[in-house]
Amino acid sequence: MEKQLSNTALFATYQHRQVILNYYQDEDILYKRDGFHFLTIQVTDSALAFLMKDGTFTTIDLTEYPLVFMNADFQNYYILRNNLEKLEIYFP
Protein backbone atom coordinates (compact mmCIF):
# COMPACT_ATOMS: atom_id res chain seq x y z
CA MET A 1 0.00 0.00 0.00
CA GLU A 2 1.29 3.42 -0.95
CA LYS A 3 0.66 6.72 0.80
CA GLN A 4 1.26 9.92 -1.17
CA LEU A 5 3.63 12.42 0.44
CA SER A 6 3.25 16.14 -0.01
CA ASN A 7 6.55 16.99 1.68
CA THR A 8 9.95 15.54 0.74
CA ALA A 9 11.72 17.09 3.75
CA LEU A 10 11.70 13.71 5.52
CA PHE A 11 14.50 12.55 3.21
CA ALA A 12 16.87 14.93 5.03
CA THR A 13 16.52 12.78 8.17
CA TYR A 14 18.50 9.98 6.51
CA GLN A 15 22.23 10.34 7.19
CA HIS A 16 25.32 8.13 7.01
CA ARG A 17 23.47 5.33 5.27
CA GLN A 18 23.29 3.23 2.17
CA VAL A 19 20.65 3.83 -0.48
CA ILE A 20 19.43 1.66 -3.34
CA LEU A 21 17.88 3.32 -6.40
CA ASN A 22 15.86 1.21 -8.84
CA TYR A 23 14.73 2.94 -12.04
CA TYR A 24 11.77 1.44 -13.93
CA GLN A 25 10.32 2.12 -17.33
CA ASP A 26 6.64 1.34 -17.98
CA GLU A 27 6.26 0.45 -14.27
CA ASP A 28 7.82 -3.02 -14.62
CA ILE A 29 11.00 -2.88 -16.68
CA LEU A 30 14.05 -2.28 -14.48
CA TYR A 31 16.55 -0.39 -16.64
CA LYS A 32 19.00 0.95 -14.04
CA ARG A 33 20.03 0.12 -10.50
CA ASP A 34 22.40 2.10 -8.32
CA GLY A 35 23.51 1.70 -4.73
CA PHE A 36 25.92 3.75 -2.67
CA HIS A 37 26.75 5.10 0.78
CA PHE A 38 26.15 8.78 1.49
CA LEU A 39 26.71 11.28 4.30
CA THR A 40 23.60 13.46 4.06
CA ILE A 41 20.73 14.31 1.73
CA GLN A 42 20.09 17.92 0.80
CA VAL A 43 16.43 18.45 -0.06
CA THR A 44 15.08 21.29 -2.19
CA ASP A 45 11.75 21.74 -3.96
CA SER A 46 13.29 20.38 -7.15
CA ALA A 47 15.95 17.87 -6.09
CA LEU A 48 17.34 15.31 -3.69
CA ALA A 49 21.13 15.63 -3.53
CA PHE A 50 23.08 12.82 -1.85
CA LEU A 51 26.41 14.11 -0.50
CA MET A 52 29.22 11.55 -0.75
CA LYS A 53 32.28 11.28 1.47
CA ASP A 54 34.50 12.64 -1.31
CA GLY A 55 32.38 15.81 -1.56
CA THR A 56 30.55 14.89 -4.76
CA PHE A 57 26.77 14.72 -5.15
CA THR A 58 24.38 12.26 -6.74
CA THR A 59 21.20 14.15 -7.56
CA ILE A 60 17.64 13.10 -8.30
CA ASP A 61 15.63 15.71 -10.19
CA LEU A 62 12.23 15.80 -8.49
CA THR A 63 10.69 17.68 -11.41
CA GLU A 64 11.05 14.44 -13.38
CA TYR A 65 9.09 12.57 -10.67
CA PRO A 66 6.30 14.87 -9.43
CA LEU A 67 4.50 12.20 -7.40
CA VAL A 68 6.16 10.90 -4.22
CA PHE A 69 4.84 7.96 -2.23
CA MET A 70 5.84 6.11 0.90
CA ASN A 71 5.35 2.36 0.82
CA ALA A 72 3.42 1.59 4.00
CA ASP A 73 4.25 -2.12 3.83
CA PHE A 74 8.03 -1.65 4.01
CA GLN A 75 10.02 0.66 6.25
CA ASN A 76 12.37 3.21 4.57
CA TYR A 77 10.94 2.52 1.08
CA TYR A 78 9.75 5.31 -1.23
CA ILE A 79 8.44 5.48 -4.78
CA LEU A 80 8.73 8.48 -7.09
CA ARG A 81 6.54 8.46 -10.21
CA ASN A 82 5.72 10.27 -13.38
CA ASN A 83 3.44 9.17 -16.22
CA LEU A 84 5.85 6.63 -17.71
CA GLU A 85 8.54 5.82 -15.16
CA LYS A 86 9.07 5.19 -11.47
CA LEU A 87 12.05 5.37 -9.18
CA GLU A 88 12.16 3.22 -6.05
CA ILE A 89 14.33 4.54 -3.23
CA TYR A 90 15.20 2.13 -0.44
CA PHE A 91 17.33 2.75 2.63
CA PRO A 92 18.41 -0.71 3.95
Q: Which residues of 26-50 are buried (b: 16+ CB within 10 A; e: fewer)?
A: eeeeeeeeeeeebebbebeeebbeb
Cα distance between residue 51 and residue 27, in whole Å? 28
End-to-end CA distance of the chain: 19
The dihedral formed by the CA atoms of 72, 40, 37 and 87, expressed in degrees to the nearest 10 = 40
Q: Reply yes or no on whether the pLDDT at 83 is more than 80.
A: yes
Q: Are 8 and 61 in contact (CB under 8 A)?
A: no
68-79 pLDDT tens trace: 999 989 999 999
DSSP, collapsed to helix, strand or coil, labels residue 74 as: coil
31-76 pLDDT tens trace: 999 999 999 999 999 999 999 999 999 999 999 999 999 998 999 9
7-28 pLDDT tens trace: 899 999 999 999 999 999 987 8
Q: Reply yes or no on whether the pLDDT at 6 is more than 90.
A: no
Cα distance between residue 54 and residue 22, in whole Å? 23
